Amino acid sequence: MRTKISITAFHTRLPAYVRGRIGVIEAYHGSQPLADASARGVIKPEPLYTVAFEAAELWPEAQAHRERVFVDAWESYLEPA
């Protein structure tokens, strides 16, 4: 799956370095309050996932490394399959 490049919320928990990048869903955490909405005082439950990204997918200088970066991402951060 790929994360969205642009997020319309003023506040977002999706780090810029994973936007538009391809990752693999590692875990599903059920429906959790969307942090972007909570920052505005709105409770909006949404599916939350842990997504794994290869370091080389995020940073060109990591091509020789096999590390992965894990990010929790709400469903609205992900592009539809």
In the structure encoding, which two tokens stand for residue 36, read together?
Answer: 């972007």
What is the chain's pLDDT, residue by residue, as a tens digit (81 residues)? 999 998 776 778 899 999 999 999 999 999 999 988 888 899 999 999 999 999 999 998 988 888 999 999 999 999 986
Give the CA radius of gyration of the chain: 13
CATH 1.20.1250.20 for domain 1-26+47-81, yes or no, is no
**3-class DSSP state of 44:** coil
Domain ranges of the chain: 1-26+47-81
Please tell me the predicted confidence (pLDDT) of residue 20. 95
Residue 52, CA atoms < 13 Å, CB-side half-sphere? 9
Beta carbons within 8 Å of 42's beta carbon, 6+ residues apart: none
The distance in angstroms from the start CA to the end CA of the chain is 7
Please tell me the predicted confidence (pLDDT) of residue 25. 97
Please tell me the predicted confidence (pLDDT) of residue 39. 83
Distance of alpha carbon 43 from alpha carbon 54, whole angstroms: 32
